Structure 1
Amino acid sequence: MRRDELLDAAEDILCDQGSAALTLNAVADRAGVSKGGLLYHFNSKEALIKGMVERLIEDFDQLMAGQPGGSYTERYLGATLAAVRSGRLRRWAVVTGASGNLFLLAPLREAMTRWHREGLSEEPDPVASQIVRLACEGLWDVASHDPELNSDADLRALEARLRGLLARPA
């Protein structure tokens, strides 16, 4: 059993049943492994949640790095839309799992600070860039709860409008 499969099982439980249902036994059962197999990778529930937080940050950073040129905010928008379109909307599940534990949420808070501050002062219109970044957060949050809300055509229209906000003034 791979580490990612165990994290997937934990995220599925969080999405389907909420944080009260996240136990090591439940994750092992969902993943189809023994509790010992799970403990080999994650020796506690906190280590499991920490693994989910770390993976979420790493995945989004990779999405950012894979976006073509443009400003930081343009890449942030592209990465957000890629996350929404992929259906791998883990942020809500991870935050649910880590809620109530500031130590476990700290890396995600640090990443959010970085994602929302990085390059903002270098943007042609920092206020428009901040609006787009905040819209991305709203899009991701709503899509986490209702993945069927926006069709691909809706997402293309939202992307066009948000990119229009980032267009350099003539």
Structure 2
Amino acid sequence: MDSVKKSRSRSIQPSLLLAAANKVVVDRGVEALTLDAVACQAGVSKGGLLHHFPSKEALITAMVQQALNKFMEALEHELAIDPEPHTPGHWVRAYIRASALDDQENYELHFNLLAANFTNPELLKPMRDFWEECQTKVVSSGLNPEVATVIRLAMDGLWLTHLHNFAPLKEPLRSQVIETVLNLAQP
């Protein structure tokens, strides 16, 4: 019987559990994020969830890392497709385009951050480290460091206003703002 339980636990994909955790937070809020709620949402036993994520903090840590990985993948993709890869501002332009992606997964990142901050602010350390590294790359991108930093902050603000519905920019103004900061990031 034990080997049957273990094989079932191993067949549960962590990505399914993380998707269920994201859904719980997005649909019901951070306060609803419990191991029971995630197991129920995923359609697995709590034991199956605990096999992969032995605590709520472990689950949230994985949620934050997954969200960070998604943004890093988008950033790497934008770096790879930049038409002027060896010019000043290359990294900033990729950051603009990665930050401007308008998809639900991008916004789930924030809900994950809220969950981490609400539960234990130390769970955000990988994010803090990543954004420190981003800021270092922004100021060393070959652009004027002040202008490059303003661009980064503008993109962060654009993302947050959309996420929180704080007078988010509507089209065509949103696209025009993105185009403006891309122009500022040209060598």
TM range (shorter): 0.7 to 0.9
Provide, for residues 25-84 of structure 1, a one-character-per-residue CA deviation record: whole Å limited to 9, x for no partner.
0011112221122112211100000001111111111111101234111000111112xx
Cα distance, 1:19–1:80 mapped onto 2, change above 3 Å: same
| Counterpart position of 2:130 | 111
Q: What is the CA distance between 1:148 and its match in structure 2?
A: 9.9
Which residue of the partner structure matches residue 111 of structure 2? 93
Residue equivalent to 1:60: 71
Counterpart mapping for 1:125-164 below 5 A:
125-146=144-165, 149-151=168-170, 153-164=172-183
Counterpart pick for 1:22 among 17, 33, 36: 33
Percent identity, please.
31
Give the Cα–Cα distance (whole angstroms) in 1 for the partners of residues 171 and 52 of structure 2. 37
> What is the TM-score of this pair, normalised by structure 1?
0.87
Q: Relative to structure 2, which stretch is displaced further, 35-44 or 148-157?
A: 148-157
Gaps of 5+ in 1: none
Which amino acid is 2:115 matched to?
Answer: G
Alignment length (residue pairs) = 166
Match of 1:46 in 2: 57
CA RMSD of aligned residues (A): 2.1
Shift in Å, 1:102: 3.1
Q: Which amino acid aligns with 1:87?
A: Q
In the aligned structure 1, how far is the partner of 2:167 from the partner of 2:24? Answer: 20
TM-score, reference length from structure 2: 0.80
| Gap regions ≥5 residues in structure 2 | 1-11
Question: Larger Rg: 1 or 2?
Answer: 2
Aligned to 1:10: 21
